[in-house]
Structure 1
């Protein structure tokens, strides 16, 4: 049956309310704070600064803190158009729905494939960091060496269980974990500044143009923009949000501003902890324990231990946010006929999407594949999967910005429409430039050549073009069949 305006499956009256409830998500459970928590927890501040931050320092150098501000400014232009168009979207407002509304059904379905594959890739990559950190934690505290794959499977089960319990329960868990990790990061940053940083003292060299606008900073765009990928969640959770017309824009800007300022502040404090001249070397020497060293040196041993524990919970929080988002992507796509109808069913009690089961199986399967190939969970699984994942989402953002431009260009009903066209045009241009920079510097991010880089670059574009082409051919075949029937 066709989907209704809100993205749910329309059922026959004789099937009753029970069947209808099997396909609809629990409404009105999320407010501004809850949605903002979901966006920020997806970014996982501690996870990003400890797991991906060193890569930003190694490649981007001294200007790394400014990267978060630049990414935030670019995405501020994107959010303006994204939220403006959201009021005209009556179904779950995922990026692909915007692309379909502005650029047509075929590109919309291609965009849906890009989103699903990209988020899955990021989820798998995040599991590599989580397993690595948890393995180190168990070894340090208990003296036990457990294979990372076993840890990854156990942690994936935990994420699956929390997501399965329903989004409102998951939000409470995310809130507790998020407050804890933000708190420890703030304590570390303040202590570094209070104690005067390294022997070089406190400097603002991170914001000098000569340190910000460099090829290394361009190559590090994966890190800066990866910190904001959860911004789409403001739209994904529309069916479960109270008063979405007001709640979603507020949540989007609250999370965007907070993340840009907080990341910039903490990452700048880390630069001060090691010194302007030593930050890149320190990141290269300590890519996985950099933040723990800062915590122990400037706060105390206890802070290093707490930070390591919270790093695990931060990764779980991020994994839970991605798990929930991917599940709802599958639910929305199934409701619109792009995936089997059974994938739109929800749990009879918790009303969470059933397709989360399949997602968990895919993630665990990827863990076993990387293990069987003898690859490293961090340098291989995390980097190789996160790079095409982040690239895919930025490509999707670019398409969404173009779709917003086309949509409001066609309307042209007010000066506000023309203003949105102008802002979204700038957004599309900026995001397109970022996409080019990521592709041009992909080797710096993966530290690989050949097949790995080809995979990272082609995955999102192949998904977009192939699915769009298949959609076009199917629609063309349907039109021909209908014409033959009429004849």
Structure 2
């Protein structure tokens, strides 16, 4: 029997932390993000990037998580912007978020297909097309997506723990080898506060994408007033410090004088080549785990998109059929919709890549690079807009919060996020490796902005044609008195469950 409720009170803080971190993919950042940042920026200050971005996002989280205590909705950005800025703006944010999350998830199939095909070829000699391995991943994600969130949380938890173990081992190896000695050169001011800072921040922010997804699961956590906030802060702090340390370790392990040049020469293969020289067995295991980490990211973003479809269907922004759940509490129709979109887009790129001059790199340079960078552009823009919505919401909802929570933290976060957004836009040609004047520099960000504009138009249409639905959109977000009592009465059971 279908319902309009997600599976309530299932996720503990630890489970939600794993889901959030899985979206940022520690091993993917180590192997792909960090070398790319060194290569494109040409600076040693990559570790500082993660610290600065972490601070900006922690400031954003101050108001964001406080607002999550009062508003539980699977369409987090949609709900918060609606409550702060109005229904029409909320619908625009929802459509923009839906497009961005879908682009992020679908684009990752390009990298997964390439990496998985290479892995199989290296171990077996069997040459499989990228789209075939991507299809296998699609099937796994589609099947897990319609199951209870508990299963996804367990799968993601195992993969994330293995990723952390491997990255820690790599970091320790790098520091112990240190061909030029253990150096703090990466933390020098002139390696960060220079003209290249824009490139550093634009590329570095991708490592944090997905941290905001904690609020998406606010209807499914053990304690909606505490779990989301705790999990978001824990995940942010872990991501920022862990990636900063790992970026520094990579620089030390390769050598400060050569890490930029080596990154430019080998790109994402730098870590695996370096590992192969010192521990071929670990290199092979890391390669395998790199592929499974990409699968975890695909699943994490799939779950986020499915819940956005659910939230928008339940509020009648999209067809009502999307706003129902299966007997196991999963947003089945939303999950199937996301899987369908992914299949169509990946199939389109598979056909376009037949006989293409880029060869095996086609899915990486096109499907992965184009879509994920456009998605990062959209999500950073949404974070900035949400910060403004948080300030506006606290202005009209005096909840005995201090000026730090209501004004200062979200205001500084808005300035920081807007600066990063502009940096991404200015450096978008570098991010997608396009030639100056290429149409793609305008098309990909343009698709994101267009989705927001269409959302505004759709909001106007709903207001005119279905005024009652339009007015009722805010009513479903605030936690009710009955739910508050139920949470208080069930807190002991929830605490017990969270420790299991």
Q: Name the SS for the 2:10 alignment partner.
A: coil
Task: Determine the C-alpha separation between the residues in 2 that align with 1:139 and 1:220.
Answer: 34
- Asked if residue 49 in structure 1 is aligned to residue 30 in structure 2, the reply is yes
Deviation at 1:288, TM superposition (A): 3.0
2:241 corresponds to 1:255? no
Preserved CA contact (<8 Å) 1:66 1:212: yes
Query: Hey, what does 1:472 align to over in structure 2?
Result: 460
Gaps of 5+ in 2: 357-361, 468-500
Higher mean alpha-carbon deviation, 348-357 vs 71-80, is at: 348-357
1:207 to 183, 187, 211: 187
Q: 1:126·1:315 contact (CA, 8 Å) conserved in 2?
A: yes
- Residue 93 of structure 1 and its aligned partner are, at CA, apart by 5.7
- Structure 1 partner of 2:381: 395
Match of 2:11 among 21, 30, 49: 30
Whether the aligned pair in 2 keeps the contact of 1:128 and 1:152 (CA below 8 Å) is yes
Supply the distance in 2 between the matched residues of 1:29 and 1:128 (Cα, whole angstroms): 32
CA distance in 1, matches of 2:237, 2:385: 23
Structure 1 unaligned blocks of 5 or more = 1-17, 480-487
Which of 314, 329, 341 aligns to 1:362? It is 341
Determine whether 1:432 maps to 2:411: no
The answer on whether the counterparts of 1:328 and 1:353 sit within 8 Å (CA) in structure 2 is: no
Q: Any idea what the Cα deviations from partners look like across 1:269-305, whole Å, max 9, x if unmatched?
A: 111122122112211221232121232234x110000
Matched residue, 1:348: 327
For the 8 Å contact 1:92–1:235, the answer to whether it is kept is: yes
What corresponds to 1:58 in structure 2? Answer: 39
Match of 1:188 in 2: 170
Give the whole-Å Cα distance in 2 for the aligned partners of 1:358 and 1:94: 19
By how many angstroms is 1:246 displaced?
Answer: 1.2
89, 105, 117: which is aligned to 2:71? 89
State how far apart, in whole Å, the 2-side matches of 1:52 and 1:329 are. Answer: 27
Displacement of 1:400 in angstroms is 0.5
Deviation at 1:381, TM superposition (A): 1.4
Distance 1:382 1:90, change over 3 A: closer
Greater shift, 363-372 or 236-245, is seen at 363-372
- Deviation, 1:432, is 0.8
Counterpart CA distance in 1 for 2:458 and 2:24 is 33
Please tell me whether the aligned partners of residues 222 and 390 of structure 1 are also in contact (alpha carbons under 8 angstroms). no
The aligned counterpart of 2:60 is 78
* Offset, 1:350: 5.8
- The alpha-carbon distance between structure 1 residues 414 and 174, as it changes in their structure 2 partners (threshold 3 A), is closer
Shift in Å at residue 229 of structure 1? 1.7
**What's the secondary structure of 1:245's corresponding residue?**
coil
State the 1:141 CA deviation: 0.2
CA apart distance, 1:259: 0.5
Residue 382 of structure 1 corresponds to 368
Q: Does 1:138 align with 2:124?
A: no
**How far did residue 267 of structure 1 move?**
1.4
Q: 1:288 to 1:401 in 2, by over 3 A?
A: same
Counterpart Cα distance in 1 of 2:167 and 2:56? 25
Deviation, structure 1 residue 477: 5.5
Match of 1:98 among 74, 77, 80: 80
- In structure 2, the CA distance between the partners of 1:169 and 1:289, relative to structure 1 (3 Å rule), is same
Mapping of 1:310-325 within 5 angstroms? 310-325=289-304
Kept after mapping to 1: 8 A contact 2:26/2:163: yes
RMSD: 1.8
Aligned to 1:451: 439
Q: Look up the match of 2:498.
A: none
TM-score, with length taken from structure 1: 0.90
- Structure 2 CA distance for partners of 1:93 and 1:418, relative to 1, 3 Å: farther
Cα distance, 1:291–1:344 mapped onto 2, change above 3 Å? same
Say whether the 8 Å CA contact 2:163–2:289 is kept in structure 1. Answer: yes
Native 8 Å contact 2:174 2:249 kept in 1: yes
Deviates more, 1:176-185 or 1:340-349: 340-349
1:332-368 Cα shifts (integer Å, max 9, x gaps): 1111111111112222346343221221121122222
Alignment map for 1:405-424 (pairs within 5 Å): 405-412=391-398, 414=400, 416-417=402-403, 419-424=405-410
For residue 45 of structure 2, give the secondary structure of its aligned residue in structure 1: helix
The structural deviation recorded for 1:325 is 0.7
- Contact 2:75–2:312 (CA under 8 A) maintained in structure 1: no
Shift in Å at residue 52 of structure 1?
Answer: 2.8
